Copies of this chain bind each other. A is one copy, B any other.
Amino acid sequence: MNHPYPSHPPLPDALVEALSERFGASFSVSQAMRDQHGRDESVHPTAAPDAVVFAKSTEEVAEIVRLCREYRVPIIPFGAGSSVEGHFLAIHGGVCIDLSRMNRVVAIHAEDLDATVQPGVTRKQLNAELHDTGLFFPIDPGADASLGGMAATRASGTNAVRYGTMRENVLGMTVVLADGRIIRTGGRAKKSSAGYDLTRLFIGSEGTLGIITELTVKLYPVPEAISSAVCAFPSVDAAVGTVIQTIQIGVPVARIELLDALTISAVNRYSKTSLKEAPTLFFEFHGSPAGVEEQATLVQELAASHGGMNFEWATRPEDRTRLWQARHDAYFACLQLKPGSRAFPTDVCVPISRLAECIRATNADIARSTIPIPLFGHVGDGNFHLVVLIDPANPQEVAEAEKINHAVVERALAMEGTCTGEHGIGIGKQKFLLAEHGEGAVDVMRALKQALDPENLLNPGKILP
């Protein structure tokens, strides 16, 4: 099938031979393997790499990079494949380095509240391995993403309102540079003022500045008490009003998520829940038993003052798990609202004082559309998503989704927000990068890319237009 990306020359035979000889069965040019690495969870047209190599170590990644560089062939890192902005689509061809077999938890330093992991370790795997330590890793983007990929896209999710994003939760990383050199970006000290912040430079760089091959992440003690709750509201406005007040008075809520009525109806069908089909907040509170009680009472009062109904508690672990699994499945649940559709996700984030206004205006966009568009998100951070359900083969629907996304992003930028709270730029948000940051800042980004990858071999065509 033709795809809309520029054509590129095939891989040089000599490179294929060299990779094949060196990596044997871990190297593949089979169409099935390439296709599997050329499609993400979004509507972006697929773009398969020319070959896939499964790396098993930092040194192997460095070797692959050096080989590809010799032939000026693009290199695309791949984690769990759960990104939604086309981050790993091989739009200029090249070799995909699949890091999913680098999935070892290298060290758990329970006393220091940190762990060092390979980039293919997923967040669920890490938490399973932490099970007996009394610690956990909080960042939770919904999908069981790889930690390397989460760092590369500066991911966050439901817990970020309390624990921060990947930006705040990585102490240091091992990174393979474009010329195959291996560097370490930080030690294990909780803070440091020693030179430029290379860790943060690579976090969110989407594989365009270097390939993350090891990370040291922060861990947290599992709270003594955890309590979740669900509360339906008469309107999205009322729900958002509750969120804003909760944040403004400083309740250290661990999660506060909004699902609109359409999303709830999708969740009920998909996850066999029986939630009231109204705008709904999902809460989670972490702390001591008394602390959780105190937070929950306060938030319940705020919710009641905004007309919240049926505050329902889930304190047993199995009930909480079911609730949050339903929340995490919302994306897939929404897809079932229109069988055969793909999701065009939006991802704006605004200062919380503008959140109600932003969602209200966005709901007017939704009301005018003929496409089903559930809305949900991490509203404690001012971040929400639309899942615009389209048939990618229908150009009118694609155009409408793009128009809605454009309107939502412009609105968020006018409110001093961002075009992407957590998904990243990839190929999907490049047109907004300039509007958000301005010419000068994007020039600085270009200068950084030029400084670290002068031949534009690392995941070319991503982030920078």
Contacts and interface: CB of A to CB of B under 8 A. Distances in A.
Interface in A291-344: 291, 294
Given A451-B447, A452-B444, A193 B154 contact: yes
B440 A182 contact: yes
Given A184-B438, A200-B200, A421 B191 contact: yes
A90 B376 CA distance: 53
A187 interface: yes
Interface stretch (A7-15, A95-103, A346-354): A346-354
Interface string A423-449: 111000100110011101111110110
Report copies per complex.
Answer: 2
A168 B177 contact: no
A184 B445 CA distance: 12
A203 interface: yes
Interface of A: 109-114, 153-156, 160, 164-165, 167-168, 177, 181-185, 187-198, 200-201, 203-205, 209, 220-221, 223, 244, 247-250, 287-288, 290-291, 294, 347, 349-353, 381-383, 412-413, 416-425, 429, 432-433, 436-438, 440-445, 447-448, 450-452, 463-464
B294 A194 contact: no
Given A181-B440, A220-B250, A350 B189 contact: yes
A352 B437 CA distance: 38
A398 B350 CA distance: 52
Contact of A189 (B194, B351, B443): B351
B204 A197 contact: yes
Contact of A155 (B154, B167, B193, B200): B193
Contact of A421 (B193, B200, B417, B432): B193
A433 B187 CA distance: 12
B183 A349 contact: no
B438 A183 contact: yes
Contact of A450 (B190, B352, B382, B451): B451
A448 B153 CA distance: 21
Nearest to A188: B416
Contact of A193 (B181, B249, B420, B438): B420
Contact of A168 (B113, B164, B347, B443): B164
Contacts of A451: 447-448, 450-451
A111 to B, nearest CB: 4
Nearest to A112: B351
A416 B194 contact: no
A257 to B, nearest CB: 15
B194 A420 contact: yes
Contacts of A197: 154, 167, 197, 200-201, 203-204
A140 B190 CA distance: 17
Contacts of A196: 201, 204-205, 209, 444-445, 448, 463
B113 A420 contact: no
A111 B248 CA distance: 6
B437 A153 contact: no
Nearest to A196: B445
A194 B353 contact: no
Nearest to A413: B187
